[in-house]
Structure 1
Amino acid sequence: MIARPGAGNRRVVAGLALLALLFSLVSFGPLVSPWGWDDTDFAAFRQGPSATHWLGTTQSGRDVFALTLRGARKSLLIGVFVAVISTGLAAVVGTAAGYAGGRVDRILMRGVDLLLVLPPLLIVVVLAPRISGGVPVLVALLAAFMWMVTARMVRAMTVSLREREYVLAARFLGVSAPRVIVRHVLPQLASLLAVDASLNVSVAIIAESGLSYLGLGVRPPDVSLGTLIADGHGAAAVRPWPFGFAAGLLVLIVLAVNLLGDGLRDVLDPTGDGR
């Protein structure tokens, strides 16, 4: 008898379907748009949606549809890169500390504890305006403060895994520590890392949008969803299209990623009941 898919499976499917739709929109939407994100129509300032400009124009005559897709693509890329880097760093530090133990464990975990007590938002706000480098620096700053809690979880699980029979057998056979971690420890942590990476995407997108809204993230002439929301919020009551479409797309992206992350957590957690 085939088991019916649980709530976790449905959330995974819904999240993947919505993400696929959003990625298709930001990837292929610019190909069908008659305007580029950096084009200016000097005959259409602050215009509403029309056949020429599908989502209207900004106060500087730029096409809202093209700008919104550009901003969504930028925010998605930043979120994915931050999630991959932060989850990868958590996996490396956590497994190294848990497997090595002793002095290595104490040094790495004291470093993690120190970073946990630092105010990440304040540090990013202070450093971002003083460091040039654009998006790569923003990605590095965001990723630098998103991995510590996961690293402690990975370390605790690695301490338990290193006492398993197959890990002890590999160590007695003289297999090197990196190879044992890669072949025997990390596969057991794959579910945790997958869920963490998926949820970190939405956290990173929200953080980037907030910083860009404050003028500390993506800088002009480039755009992200945060900069578009900041530019359009002042006139949202009378010209809602620049603000509304960017904000709506941000909500959809975060909703899709959270659905995927929550669904993966329920599906991959062997102790959960799927609710």
Structure 2
Amino acid sequence: MAGFTLLALLGVLAGAGPYLTRWSWTGVDVTAFSEPPSADHWFGTTAAGRDVYAIALRGLRRSLVIGLLVASAATSLAGITGAVAGYLGGWADRLLLWVIDLLLVFPPFLIAAVLSRVFAGRAGTAVLLTCLMWMLTARAVRSATRALRDEGYVLAARQLGAPALVIVLRHVLPNLTSLLLADATLNAGAAIIGEAGLSYFGFGVRPPDVSLGTLIADGAPAATVFPWLFLPPVILLILILLAVDLAGSGLRGPSDTASFRERR
């Protein structure tokens, strides 16, 4: 509950926060350059006279959207792939496992950096992170499906002539909802870290748009001189990761969370 409450508060801040100030994230105050926090600029201003509060909330909104998109897409892809592999078994299971193991061999950050020029922008970054994050969850879903495929309701559906895809979608995946929801929250945290890391090194969101990663990269060189440029995006990123970790740990349970982190 603490995790979801914090996520909800961050979502409200990202959505409604920009309307609490008269400065937009693209606006420039020609009378305030590198100014510390004040009544007019709550988080201070940049060297170009832009409001740090408005820019930080823009980055927060971008990071939350990318995390939500990647978590939803990666968990859906992993759920369907892992459930099909675990239910069918045989050559289909071996083929899908071979694909998963092959993708796990490649270093994800290096692949993301190489392909970042092709998958440019917010949507491209979300697609790229989705392609690199679904494999471990798929293996967990496959193992859970193998334990479910001999359950009475699955055998009854099979005896009634239900197609394999229908059984997977209507009987197997609904019984894995708690697993998928927990993994989705943890995937969201991993996606936000991945996006922030890519943007920090110039491979993710690019100017003129911003994200928490680009803001941290811009503020890091002047962190000791102008801390208001560096601390707001760092604190927001920490709060997001804390929220999704608490939510995911609460959904999964202590023992399952420990085993999941070992797989990670």
TM range (shorter): over 0.9
Coordinate RMSD, CA, aligned: 1.5
| Rounded Cα–Cα distance in structure 2 between residues aligned with 1:182 and 1:63 | 48
Choose the corresponding residue for 1:263, options 250, 253, 256: 250
| Rounded Cα–Cα distance in structure 2 between residues aligned with 1:167 and 1:156 | 16
Choose the corresponding residue for 2:147, options 157, 160, 164: 160
Q: Please tell me whether the aligned partners of residues 120 and 205 of structure 2 are also in contact (alpha carbons under 8 angstroms).
A: no
| Rounded Cα–Cα distance in structure 2 between residues aligned with 1:144 and 1:254 | 21
Query: In the alignment, what sits opposite 1:47?
Result: 35
Q: Please tell me whether the aligned partners of residues 39 and 62 of structure 1 are also in contact (alpha carbons under 8 angstroms).
A: yes
Cα distance, 1:268 vs structure 2: 11
Query: In the alignment, what sits opposite 1:87?
Result: 75
The correspondence of residues 1-275 of structure 1 with structure 2, limited to 5 A, is 13-128=1-116, 130-131=117-118, 133-266=120-253
Query: In the alignment, what sits opposite 2:262?
Result: none
| Rounded Cα–Cα distance in structure 1 between residues aligned with 2:240 and 2:136 | 24
**Cα-to-partner distance string for 1:136-164 (whole Å, 9 max, x where unaligned):** 11111111111111111111211221111
| Residue type at the aligned position of 2:185 | S
Q: Look up the SS of the partner of 1:145 in the other structure.
A: helix
**Cα-to-partner distance string for 1:21-70 (whole Å, 9 max, x where unaligned):** 11111110111111000111111110111121111100111000000000
| Rounded Cα–Cα distance in structure 1 between residues aligned with 2:5 and 2:124 | 31
Gaps of 5+ in 1: 1-12
Cα distance, 1:184 vs structure 2: 1.2
**Cα-to-partner distance string for 1:159-210 (whole Å, 9 max, x where unaligned):** 2211111111111111122221122111221111011000111111111111
Farther-moved stretch of structure 1 (52-61 vs 178-187): 178-187
**Cα-to-partner distance string for 1:216-273 (whole Å, 9 max, x where unaligned):** 110000000111111111111111001011101110111011111111112896xx9x
Q: Look up the SS of the partner of 1:48 in the other structure.
A: coil
TM-score (norm 1): 0.90
| Residue type at the aligned position of 2:71 | A
| Rounded Cα–Cα distance in structure 1 between residues aligned with 2:222 and 2:189 | 27
| Rounded Cα–Cα distance in structure 2 between residues aligned with 1:126 and 1:214 | 12
Moved over 6 A (4+): none
| Rounded Cα–Cα distance in structure 2 between residues aligned with 1:54 and 1:45 | 14
| Residue type at the aligned position of 2:4 | L
| Rounded Cα–Cα distance in structure 2 between residues aligned with 1:44 and 1:38 | 14
| Residue type at the aligned position of 2:32 | A
| Residue type at the aligned position of 1:57 | T
Q: Look up the SS of the partner of 1:91 in the other structure.
A: helix
TM-score (norm 2): 0.94
Cα distance, 1:133 vs structure 2: 3.7
Q: Please tell me whether the aligned partners of residues 72 and 249 of structure 1 are also in contact (alpha carbons under 8 angstroms).
A: yes
| Rounded Cα–Cα distance in structure 2 between residues aligned with 1:253 and 1:109 | 32
| Residue type at the aligned position of 1:106 | R
**Cα-to-partner distance string for 1:81-120 (whole Å, 9 max, x where unaligned):** 1111111111011011111121211111111111111111
| Rounded Cα–Cα distance in structure 1 between residues aligned with 2:35 and 2:6 | 30
Paired residues in the alignment total: 257
| Rounded Cα–Cα distance in structure 2 between residues aligned with 1:113 and 1:244 | 39
Larger RCO, structure (CA 8 Å, separation 6 or more): 1
Q: Please tell me whether the aligned partners of residues 119 and 128 of structure 2 are also in contact (alpha carbons under 8 angstroms).
A: no
| Rounded Cα–Cα distance in structure 2 between residues aligned with 1:253 and 1:16 | 10
Q: Look up the SS of the partner of 2:101 in the other structure.
A: helix
Cα distance, 1:132 vs structure 2: 5.2
Q: Please tell me whether the aligned partners of residues 91 and 151 of structure 1 are also in contact (alpha carbons under 8 angstroms).
A: yes
| Rounded Cα–Cα distance in structure 2 between residues aligned with 1:29 and 1:208 | 22
Q: Look up the SS of the partner of 1:187 in the other structure.
A: helix
